[in-house]
Amino acid sequence: MRLILLGPPGAGKGTQAARLVEKFKIPQLSTGDMLRAAVKAGTPVGLQAKAVMDAGGLVSDEIVCGIISDRIEEADATNGFILDGFPRTVAQAEALDDMLAKKAMKLDAIIELKVDENALLARIEKRAAETVAAGGTVRADDNPDAFRVRLVAYREQTAPVSAYYASHGVLKTVDGMAPIDQVTAALDAVLG
């Protein structure tokens, strides 16, 4: 099962992806998580990505496409994967089509979690508060200023990715405003 989860920051992609990981026994490939790991490890990619990520902007297509191209060839992705946070631009979607064709891999589903923009900032603030309460460290980009930049990046660069897949007739949508379990049920229904 090879899946893409699309949706704005705070849509619940990570929460639902974690459940799909359990169900299908396939890894969740979050470019955000991979980039944060690179930043933490101080790799060349991490050093390049840190400032743009902290400000809420997008890392270059070249960097994220390189990361994904390598990652989907790893042993744990043989039976499939869930892409979370990628593709985030139409150029990334096109690059993904090319890399999958070259690797003779096919996508099984592309699902967008539809969420009312007004709900998103509140969700991000809640996530930050929960992280603090659990003794964790809040993401550098989980603050209102960076979040506004992330929303603009989403509207301008990522929303067209949904349109790209819709125009290919392969986009499915699920209501991401419903309670978490209902979203999971809706995903189950879509995935059959």
Binding site for ligand ADP (CB under 6 A): 9, 30-32, 35, 52-53, 56-59, 64, 85-86, 88, 92, 141, 150
> Which lies closer to ligand ADP via its Cβ, residue 9 or residue 80?
9
User: C-beta of 107: minimal distance to ligand ADP in Å?
Assistant: 16
User: C-beta of 192: minimal distance to ligand ADP in Å?
Assistant: 26
> Which lies closer to ligand ADP via its Cβ, residue 2 or residue 150?
150
| Cα–Cα dist 11/113, whole Å | 6
> Which lies closer to ligand ADP via its Cβ, residue 23 or residue 148?
148
| Cα–Cα dist 59/53, whole Å | 7
Question: Within 13 Å and on the Cβ side, how many CA atoms surround 180?
Answer: 11
> Which lies closer to ligand ADP via its Cβ, residue 116 or residue 189?
116
Residue among 63, 59, 60, 66 nearest 98 (CA): 66
User: C-beta of 14: minimal distance to ligand ADP in Å?
Assistant: 7
User: C-beta of 86: minimal distance to ligand ADP in Å?
Assistant: 4
| Helix ranges (DSSP H) in the chain | 13-24, 31-41, 44-55, 61-71, 90-102, 117-133, 144-153, 159-167, 180-191
User: C-beta of 128: minimal distance to ligand ADP in Å?
Assistant: 11
b/e for 94-117, b at 16 or more Cβ within 10 A? ebbeebeeeeeeebebbbbbebee
Give the gyration radius of the chain's Cα atoms: 16
> Which lies closer to ligand ADP via its Cβ, residue 32 or residue 80?
32
Alpha carbon of residue 71 to chain centroid:
15
User: C-beta of 111: minimal distance to ligand ADP in Å?
Assistant: 15
User: Which residue has the CB atom at the shortest distance from ligand ADP?
Assistant: 32
> Which lies closer to ligand ADP via its Cβ, residue 26 or residue 58?
58
